[in-house]
């Protein structure tokens, strides 16, 4: 079955560490997105990519970085510059075309310890 | 620019009662409208979507929504709530220059026995 896979499901980070969240899709979708979710704040867009080797900042890109070297993969690195990284992170993908909506992964919960 | 407003961050209903979750949108172009559901510690799952054509849209789990252009609304309803409907619901609008969806801040639905 096609889908979008995020790993790990739970991740713990020490202060000052960089961590990378994985997002892989086998849906042949062109566009991929990263969102951060905090209680009561909905979904906030971190980065998105509409084509391989190209990506754009979303609303809260500071302290994060991404790459899009393959169509299937869009990893997110949470750097030490992100001062409050504890959150639920969601990856999504979509076909090019506004009417299709997104397919979401099951999320990664990142906690700073 | 596009935006979405979900009225009521928390809604509580009794089992068997009508569910009504409100969503109003703003869009300078014909909108594509979506409702997603999120269960705890999971990703978002598409409930239903409106693109063009019939304004009453039926989705999964007995939910439906009606697109009302004159009221710029896309409210989600279900005639009879079930305990398994307890979750967070997100309305989203698309149709701008990019594939990006704009999400509301979510409505947490509680179902009381």
Higher pLDDT, B28 or A2: B28
Higher pLDDT, B105 or B30: B105
Asked whether the beta carbons of residue B43 and residue A107 sit closer than 8 angstroms, the reply is yes
Distance CA A28, CA B4 (A): 29
The tens digit of pLDDT for each residue in A52-67 reads 999 999 999 999 999 9
> Phi/psi at A67 (nearest 5 deg)?
-145, 155
Indicate if the pLDDT at residue A4 is higher than 80: yes
Chain B residue numbers touching A45 (CB-CB < 8 A): 100
How many angstroms from the chain centroid is the CA of residue A8?
12
The tens digit of pLDDT for each residue in A69-104 reads 999 999 999 999 898 999 999 999 998 776 788 999
Can you tell me the mean pLDDT for B25-52?
A: 92
Mean pLDDT, chain A, whole residue set: 93
> Phi/psi at B112 (nearest 5 deg)?
-95, 140
Can you tell me the mean pLDDT for B22-42?
A: 92
Asked whether the beta carbons of residue B44 and residue A102 sit closer than 8 angstroms, the reply is yes
CA of A90, closest CA in chain B: separation in Å? 7
CB-hemisphere CA count at 13 Å for B99? 20
Which pLDDT value is given to residue B64?
Answer: 97
For B100, the closest of A48, A90, A97 (CB atoms) is: A48
Model confidence at A41, pLDDT cuts 50, 70, 90, reads: confident
Chain A residue numbers touching B95 (CB-CB < 8 A): 98-99
Collapsing DSSP states into helix, strand and coil, what is residue B88?
strand
**Three-state SS letters, chain A:** CCCEEEECCEEEECCCCCEEEEEEECCCCCEEEEEEECCCCCEEEEEEEEECCEEEECCCCCCEEECCCECCECCEEECCCCCCCCEEEEEEEECCCCCCCCEECCCEEEEEC
Indicate if the pLDDT at residue B46 is higher than 80: yes
Indicate if the pLDDT at residue A2 is higher than 80: no
Chain A residue numbers touching B35 (CB-CB < 8 A): none
Residue of A nearest to B10 (CA): A40
The tens digit of pLDDT for each residue in B50-101 reads 998 889 999 999 999 999 999 999 999 999 999 999 999 999 998 766 678 8
Which pLDDT value is given to residue A1?
Answer: 67
Residue to mutate among B23, B44, B45, with most A CBs inside 10 A, is B44
Chain B residue numbers touching A47 (CB-CB < 8 A): none
Asked whether the beta carbons of residue A41 and residue B105 sit closer than 8 angstroms, the reply is yes
Which pLDDT value is given to residue B50?
Answer: 94
């Amino acid at each position: 079955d096609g889908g979008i896979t995020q790993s790990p499901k739970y991740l713990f980070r020490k202060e000052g560490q960089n961590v990378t969240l994985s997002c892989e899709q086998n849906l042949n979708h062109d566009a991929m997105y990263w969102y951060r979710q905090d209680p009561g704040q909905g979904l906030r867009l971190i980065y998105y990519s509409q084509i391989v080797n190209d990506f754009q900042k979303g609303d809260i890109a500071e302290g994060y970085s991404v790459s899009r070297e393959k169509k299937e993969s869009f990893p997110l690195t949470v750097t030490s510059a992100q001062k409050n990284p504890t959150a639920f992170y969601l990856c999504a993908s979509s076909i090019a075309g506004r009417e299709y909506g997104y397919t979401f992964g099951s999320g990664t919960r990142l906690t700073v310890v | 620019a596009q935006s979405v407003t979900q009225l009521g961050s928390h809604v509580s209903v009794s089992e068997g009662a009508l569910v009504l979750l409100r969503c109003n949108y703003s869009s300078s172009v014909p909108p594509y409208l979506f409702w997603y559901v999120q269960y705890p510690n999971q990703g978002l799952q598409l409930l239903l979507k409106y693109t063009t054509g019939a304004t009453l849209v039926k989705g999964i789990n007995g939910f439906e929504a009606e697109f009302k252009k004159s009221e710029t609304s896309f409210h989600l309803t279900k005639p009879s709530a079930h305990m398994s409907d307890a979750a967070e619901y997100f309305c989203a609008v698309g149709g701008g220059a990019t594939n990006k969806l704009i999400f509301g801040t979510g409505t947490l639905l509680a179902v009381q026995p």
